[in-house]
Structure 1
Amino acid sequence: MAKPGYILLKLVEVGIIFFVILTALFFLFRLSPGDPISKMVDPMLTPEDMAHLIQQMGLDRPMWEQYLIYVKNFFTGSFGVSFHYGEPVATIIADKLKWTLLLFTTSTLLAAFAGVFLGKIAAWHKGSRLDNVMSISALVCYTLFIPWFALLLLWILGFKWGLFPLGGVLTPALWISNASVFARILDVLHHLMLPLLTLFIINLGSYLLLMRSSMLSVLREDYILTARAKGLSEKKIRNKHAARNAALPVITSVGLSLAFSINGGALTEQIFTWPGIGRELIFAVSNNDYPLAQACFLLIALVVLCANLIVDLLYAWLDPRITY
């Protein structure tokens, strides 16, 4: 198990790394080519109006002063105001984040559970026809090119067969009417199914192969032979002794996948016009919307660092041999 001293040390380490990222993001965006003004204003504006707009954004101040304001705003819970939208960055991120979490977290967890279950079965029946079919299918899913596969499903299931909407997260006509809450939930789920199916199939292959490989390695351990010598049932050996330890690499992969899913799959969100963080991040970077882009990257960094810490602690909980 993880000791309190180790947890405290990791928290300090996470804090230092996050502050370095916080600083690096500020200067990287300021040193990048282009400026937010030229991409968001009417070219017919007078130089006086341009100067006034720059002053309102605080871009006329020295770099060090902008940095101090940036750090102060962060530690007071303020991410600033988006240059493009003119709204608080926190409001924009909160609106986009819910859709990203709904799609990517759901698809990752479903694929992980299915991959662990199928992977341990494939490993347990190594060399059989079932194992060969599962392994080949998983390898095909793992090597699929996401944009191609997403467009293929969109064309077949959405355009040709008309089973699912071609994009978006809701039907405007339904939401402006007096439809019930249940009808609105079904509408969101209907829009969710196609991108969810795409991500589920692609992620399933990697988790199945990872679990199968880890399971095969664990099955060669001495404690598995000891469990058999004790007369334990094959089902108990597989599920309680082998699968639990074999799941450690999968947990690491899932933890990092969940962390990085916070930024959304930019290509997936673009193809399905899903209004998540990924699309917003691309827009903010391409338009030099410093506050919005910085907040998106900081959110990703924070979640990734926390995910790494949680995975470390889960290792010690799942495997008693691991101590910190």
Structure 2
Amino acid sequence: MGLRAFLIKRLTEITVIFFIIMTVLFLLFRLAPGDPVERMVDPSMTPEDAQALRQSMGLDEPLLTQYRIYLKNVFTGHMGVSFHYGEPVTRILMQRLPNTILLFTTSIILSALLGIFLGKIAAWQRGGRTDTIMTIGALFFHTLFLPWLALLMIWFFAYQVGWFPITGMVSPQVWIDPQAGVVAKTLDVLHHMALPLLTLVLIHFGSYLLVMRSSMLDTLREDYILTARAKGLDEKTIRDRHAAPNAALPVVTSVGLSLAFSINGGALTETVFSWPGIGQELVFAISHSDYPLAQAAFLLIAIVVLFANLLVDVLYAYLDPRIRY
């Protein structure tokens, strides 16, 4: 199968999967318990006012009519208006998206670089003390419960030691200060970002280390590694220039998919650290039955994940000449 045929096939599959996801999301929120109007209605509001509000949201329409409106909005790029904020959901998500990308893309890249570096060292010293310590450490951090680690980091580094802010992304006093320049504001964001970033790196680097170690061990058994040794190349060159680049291919796939899933903002992480991103907004939308906002967030995640899978498949073929579609 040629690359063009492969792309057509995968795009067809993506279209079908996306349509199924849209339908499931629509039914999931409509059939879930809870009424968004009940969460918004003021105690002094009359039942007539509540019904008028429900009509303005289109919640009094039959389910099939709501579904047709929903599909039309999706394919015309109009994702609706948030029940809670009263603003277009696209605007709300675009305001939160850069915050999520900043935190999670940075954490994934740092985790991958650290995991690849330590993984190749662990594999090169298989069975030794270094390998044992790195493997146990990777398994320990990888299996930690993220909210527990996040709260522990906040308790120690923010509350006990006081090195970092407890929550949030910025300090209001810095951003409202007319004398504060770009450097001061950037440092303020990085200061708030340090704890969630460190937490995410500790949680995720272990998986990349273990994947890299396993792949590296398989690569070291290949014939071209024996040939490189027979040519008299030093061990560091063989490890870093011959074995590691090929062994890193599975890690590239893992990183690509992780970057795609990072768009959801890690709802738990953003909620614990009060980081104003997609994940925190998604939790809020679900808890307040804000259908348009929750649906738009999930659809954004689905689109990115589906096309990231396609991109990883194509990238893998370019990185490994043995793969042909």
TM-score class, shorter-chain normalisation, is: over 0.9
Q: Name the structure 2 match of 1:23.
A: 23
Is 1:46 matched with 2:39? no
Give me the whole-angstrom Cα distance separating, in 2, the residues matched to 1:3 and 1:231: 39
Q: Name the structure 1 match of 2:299.
A: 298
Give me the whole-angstrom Cα distance separating, in 2, the residues matched to 1:24 and 1:155: 39
Q: Name the amino acid aligned to 1:218.
A: T
Q: Name the structure 2 match of 1:276.
A: 277
Deviations 1:211-253 (A, max 9, x none): 1111111211233223333444433432333222222221222
Is 1:158 matched with 2:181? no
- Give yes or no for contact 1:168–1:275 (8 Å, CA) kept in 2: yes
Give me the whole-angstrom Cα distance separating, in 1, the residues matched to 2:274 and 2:235: 48
TM-score normalised to structure 2 length = 0.95
1:166-315 → structure 2 map (5 Å cutoff): 166-178=166-178, 179-315=180-316
- Give yes or no for contact 1:244–1:318 (8 Å, CA) kept in 2: no
Give me the whole-angstrom Cα distance separating, in 1, the residues matched to 2:85 and 2:190: 28
Say which SS state the counterpart of residue 78 (structure 1) adopts. Answer: coil
Superposition deviation, residue 129 in structure 1: 2.5
Superposition deviation, residue 81 in structure 1: 0.2
Superposition deviation, residue 43 in structure 1: 3.0
Give me the whole-angstrom Cα distance separating, in 2, the residues matched to 1:2 and 1:314: 15
Superposition deviation, residue 257 in structure 1: 1.6
Give me the whole-angstrom Cα distance separating, in 2, the residues matched to 1:60 and 1:205: 50
Q: Name the structure 1 match of 2:143.
A: 143
Give me the whole-angstrom Cα distance separating, in 2, the residues matched to 1:244 and 1:35: 53
Give me the whole-angstrom Cα distance separating, in 2, the residues matched to 1:229 and 1:7: 42
Name the count of aligned residue pairs: 324
Say which SS state the counterpart of residue 92 (structure 2) adopts. Answer: helix
Give me the whole-angstrom Cα distance separating, in 2, the residues matched to 1:148 and 1:105: 22
Which is worse superposed, 217-226 or 28-37?
Answer: 217-226
Q: Name the amino acid aligned to 2:214.
A: S
- Give yes or no for contact 1:2–1:313 (8 Å, CA) kept in 2: no
Give me the whole-angstrom Cα distance separating, in 1, the residues matched to 2:231 and 2:315: 28
- Give yes or no for contact 1:207–1:250 (8 Å, CA) kept in 2: yes
Identity percentage of aligned residues: 64
Which is worse superposed, 55-64 or 287-296?
Answer: 55-64
What are structure 1's unaligned runs of at least 5 residues? none
Superposition deviation, residue 201 in structure 1: 1.2
Give me the whole-angstrom Cα distance separating, in 2, the residues matched to 1:319 and 1:2: 16
Say which SS state the counterpart of residue 37 (structure 1) adopts. Answer: helix
Give me the whole-angstrom Cα distance separating, in 2, the residues matched to 1:317 and 1:237: 22
CA-based RMSD of the aligned residues comes to 1.6
Say which SS state the counterpart of residue 100 (structure 2) adopts. Answer: helix
1:52-201 → structure 2 map (5 Å cutoff): 52-178=52-178, 179-201=180-202
What are structure 2's unaligned runs of at least 5 residues? none
Give me the whole-angstrom Cα distance separating, in 2, the residues matched to 1:2 and 1:181: 50
TM-score normalised to structure 1 length = 0.95
Q: Which runs of 4+ in 1 moved over 6 A?
A: none
Say which SS state the counterpart of residue 37 (structure 2) adopts. Answer: coil
Give me the whole-angstrom Cα distance separating, in 1, the residues matched to 2:149 and 2:262: 19
Say which SS state the counterpart of residue 301 (structure 2) adopts. Answer: helix
Superposition deviation, residue 203 in structure 1: 0.9
Give me the whole-angstrom Cα distance separating, in 1, the residues matched to 2:7 and 2:237: 33
Give me the whole-angstrom Cα distance separating, in 2, the residues matched to 1:162 and 1:2: 58
Give me the whole-angstrom Cα distance separating, in 1, the residues matched to 2:2 and 2:264: 30
Superposition deviation, residue 47 in structure 1: 1.8
Say which SS state the counterpart of residue 177 (structure 1) adopts. Answer: coil
Which is worse superposed, 245-254 or 225-234?
Answer: 225-234
Say which SS state the counterpart of residue 11 (structure 1) adopts. Answer: helix
